[in-house]
């Protein structure tokens, strides 16, 4: 019979890991012998083993073979039919492989799920790296060797996860950033965003952190991280595409436009409040030139078109005024 903690864990897997997909496979084909559950001995009771790798499969096995578990979790849908179909495959006993300790599993899991064929999600990879350093004393170089990556990338992923861990500990709502960790990690590559969340307060841990770092943010950092998460993923988010992160960073770096963004919750309005910048003007002029050149290459097909002539004359007039402004 499931204990309270095990029941909560089973419910978590049921909600988040699409166990029905695995259940259909097991019901139709049985358990694949090539995928043993990887276990370690339970230190509290040597007669028991703890499954470290394969918990999605284990949760599915429990729901297929234990009607009491299905009843306690109030599972409806196809599970009863799946359990009946799976009964032909003797799922009460499945292959396992025992390891002496959790440490013995680390390098295998790193290769399999971080660099291998069955890769974890971005958040799972970062969590694994964080635990290698915090719980098992790995250096960034050792962690990099264990999973086949570069130590500077390991450092950045560690710092990004530490930011979220510290924010959660401070009761900040950053769940959306955990779920979309790849986008959050990408956002921290922008110095403007790091500055906004106060990650670069003083030295920049993104560039020079060591393994002793546990709290990369100052006291007000978690609140800033929560606000940033709201800008990107919240119900009043201001961007719809990760390609807008760099524009958001420009706004977050300027007090005036940031104040407008907080009030209006519209990125384009806040961008209009940014102070003039030569590079921005240059980029707009170059874009206009490219568009005009493209239009010119097609103009011979529409000789005499009155509407296009009016638009071209307006463009000519505006271009002449632009030149006059820049030269006067």
- Cβ 69 vs Cβ 19: under 8 Å: no
Q: How confident is the model at residue 108 (pLDDT cuts 50, 70, 90)?
A: low
Q: Residue 164 pLDDT more than 60?
A: yes
Do 19 and 76 belong together in one domain? Answer: yes
Taking only the tens place, the pLDDT of each residue in 175-194 is 999 999 999 999 999 999 99
Q: Does residue 77 lie within any of the structural domains?
A: yes
**What is the 8-class DSSP label of residue 301?**
G
Confidence (pLDDT) at 1: 34
Do 254 and 211 belong together in one domain? Answer: yes
Confidence (pLDDT) at 3: 46
Q: How confident is the model at residue 63 (pLDDT cuts 50, 70, 90)?
A: confident
Residue 49 bridge partners (DSSP): 41
Do 132 and 249 belong together in one domain? Answer: yes
- Cβ 248 vs Cβ 232: under 8 Å: yes
Distance of CA 69 to the CA centre of its chain: 32
Q: Does residue 288 lie within any of the structural domains?
A: yes
Do 24 and 96 belong together in one domain? Answer: yes
Q: Does residue 109 lie within any of the structural domains?
A: no
Do 137 and 268 belong together in one domain? Answer: yes
Confidence (pLDDT) at 325: 92
End-of-domain residue from the set 234, 249, 272: 272
Confidence (pLDDT) at 112: 62
Q: Average pLDDT of 231-248? A: 95
Do 198 and 246 belong together in one domain? Answer: yes
Distance of CA 116 to the CA centre of its chain: 19
Q: Does residue 112 lie within any of the structural domains?
A: no
Q: Average pLDDT of 52-78? A: 82
Confidence (pLDDT) at 253: 94
Taking only the tens place, the pLDDT of each residue in 191-217 is 999 999 999 756 788 988 999 999 999
Q: Residue 106 pLDDT more than 70?
A: no
End-of-domain residue from the set 272, 287, 311: 272
Do 228 and 296 belong together in one domain? Answer: no
Sheet holding 96-99, edge to edge: 49-53, 37-41, 96-99
Do 140 and 240 belong together in one domain? Answer: yes
Do 293 and 207 belong together in one domain? Answer: no
Tell me the residue ranges of DSSP E strands in the chain: 37-41, 49-53, 96-99
Q: Does residue 241 lie within any of the structural domains?
A: yes
- Cβ 176 vs Cβ 229: under 8 Å: yes
Full domain range(s) for residue 284? 278-327
Q: Average pLDDT of 285-296? A: 94
Q: Average pLDDT of 286-301? A: 94
- Distance between CA atoms of residues 133 and 138, nearest Å: 5
Q: Average pLDDT of 11-31? A: 83
Q: Does residue 107 lie within any of the structural domains?
A: no
The rounded percent of the chain whose pLDDT value lies above 70 is 92
Do 190 and 267 belong together in one domain? Answer: yes
- Both tokens of 229, joined, read 């998460």
- Both tokens of 197, joined, read 């969340």
Of the candidates 144, 140, 180, the residue with the CA atom closest to the CA atom of residue 159 = 140
Do 140 and 223 belong together in one domain? Answer: yes
Q: Beta strands 49-53 and 37-41: pairing type?
A: antiparallel
Q: Residue 111 pLDDT more than 70?
A: no
Q: Residue 243 pLDDT more than 70?
A: yes
Instruction: Please state the three-class secondary structure of 75-129 as a single string.
Output: CCCCHHHHHHHHHHHCCCCCCEEEECCHHHHHHHHHHHHHHCCCCCCHHHHHHHH
- Distance between CA atoms of residues 79 and 29, nearest Å: 16
Q: Beta strands 96-99 and 49-53: pairing type?
A: unpaired
Question: What is the total count of domains within the chain?
Answer: 3
- Cβ 196 vs Cβ 252: under 8 Å: yes
- Distance between CA atoms of residues 152 and 185, nearest Å: 13
Q: Does residue 110 lie within any of the structural domains?
A: no
Q: Residue 32 pLDDT more than 80?
A: yes
Model pTM above 0.75: no
Q: Does residue 113 lie within any of the structural domains?
A: no
Do 32 and 145 belong together in one domain? Answer: no
Distance of CA 303 to the CA centre of its chain: 52
More confident residue, 120 or 321: 321
More confident residue, 278 or 302: 302
End-of-domain residue from the set 45, 69, 100: 100
Q: Beta strands 37-41 and 96-99: pairing type?
A: parallel
Distance of CA 200 to the CA centre of its chain: 21
Q: Residue 271 pLDDT more than 90?
A: yes
Q: Residue 62 pLDDT more than 70?
A: yes
């Amino acid at each position: 019979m499931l204990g309270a903690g095990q029941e909560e864990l089973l419910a978590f897997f049921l909600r988040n890991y699409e166990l029905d997909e695995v259940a259909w496979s097991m019901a139709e084909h049985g358990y694949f012998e090539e995928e043993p559950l990887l276990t370690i001995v339970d230190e509290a009771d040597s007669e028991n083993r703890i499954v470290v790798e394969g918990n999605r499969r284990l949760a599915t096995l429990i729901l297929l073979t234990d009607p009491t578990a299905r009843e306690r979790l109030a599972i409806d849908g196809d599970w009863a039919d799946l359990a009946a179909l799976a009964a032909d495959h003797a799922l009460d006993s499945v292959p396992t492989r025992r390891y002496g300790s959790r440490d013995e599993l680390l390098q295998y899991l790193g290769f399999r799920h971080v660099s291998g064929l069955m890769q974890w999600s971005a958040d799972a990879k970062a969590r694994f790296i964080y635990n290698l350093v915090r719980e098992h004393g790995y250096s960034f170089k050792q962690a990099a060797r264990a999973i086949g990556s570069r130590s500077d990338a390991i450092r950045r992923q560690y710092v990004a996860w530490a930011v979220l861990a510290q924010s959660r500990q401070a009761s900040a709502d950053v769940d959306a950033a955990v779920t979309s960790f790849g986008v959050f990690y990408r956002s921290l590559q922008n110095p403007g965003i790091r500055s906004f969340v106060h990650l670069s307060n003083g030295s920049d841990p993104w560039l020079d952190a060591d393994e002793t770092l546990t709290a990369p943010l100052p006291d007000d950092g978690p609140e800033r991280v929560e606000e940033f998460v709201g800008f990107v993923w919240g119900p009043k988010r201001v961007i719809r595409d990760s390609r807008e992160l760099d524009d958001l960073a420009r706004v977050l770096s300027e007090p005036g436009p940031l104040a407008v963004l907080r009030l209006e919750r519209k990125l384009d309005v806040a961008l209009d409040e940014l102070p003039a910048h030569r590079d921005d003007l240059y980029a707009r002029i170059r874009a206009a030139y490219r568009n005009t050149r493209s239009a010119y290459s097609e103009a011979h097909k529409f000789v005499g078109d009155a509407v296009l002539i009016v638009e071209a004359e307006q463009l000519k007039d505006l271009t002449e005024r632009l030149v006059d402004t820049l030269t006067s």
